Amino acid sequence: MGLDWRHQTNENILSHINGMEKDFLKYRKNEESGKIPAVWKFEGTRFENHITSEQLDCFSDAIERLKSEYTELIRTRFHGWENLTVIHGDMHPGTAWISKSDGVRFDGLQAVRIGLPTEDLAMLIALHIAPSKQQAFPLLDVYYTCLSKEIERYSYATFLSDYKLAIAENMFFAIKLINRGIFDFKMRDKAICAYKSFVLNKA
């Protein structure tokens, strides 16, 4: 299993980030022009759309952070094969099967790849079950304890830095869904909450 396409060169990661930026600019234009619905009902669930300009700016901030931080990681981490692991690639609660006898299993393995150890965490924790620091830290601590038994020389500080970067990247998944007509405002709002809590260090 090799590196994911986006991690092979600086040009590739910047192309990937530029694609996310285009998705966001399209979404922001639609949001500001009133094309995004105020309420979306799906299978009995009501999704309400409340977003401010400050919250939208989190995505612009994330793009700039990704551009400035990710290119250095391509050289130091991905080309050096340092502190990387196999990740699921689409980790969300819908892929988990919990059995009383066999523990937890995950399906939907089409996106399995090499990546930062925190890529799956950002998808599962930040976007779905525990976006804020208060909610997330107990889960992150348990995960890091298990992970550090298998990955050598992976400091907790680097782990948290990786998690922040993974949040910044994964938050655009919600934007992609909205652009496709899946108005999961709850996921978007959790992504913003995680970004503000971990990256911007705001309550």
For 125-143, the pLDDT digits (tens) are 999 889 999 999 999 999 8
Q: What is the pTM of this model?
A: 0.86
pLDDT in tens, 67-109: 999 888 888 888 877 777 766 555 555 555 555 666 655 555 5
* pLDDT tens sequence across 19-72: 999 999 999 999 999 999 999 998 888 999 999 999 999 999 999 999 999 888
Work out the angle at residue 203's Cα, subtended by the Cα atoms of residues 87 and 32, and round it to the nearest 5 degrees.
Answer: 80
* pLDDT, position 59: 97
CATH of the domain at 45: 3.90.1200
| Residue ranges making up the domain that contains 157 | 5-199
Structural domains of the chain, count = 1
Averaged over 148-169, what is the pLDDT? 90
Residue recorded with tokens 């700039």: 64
d(CA 40, CA 183): 6
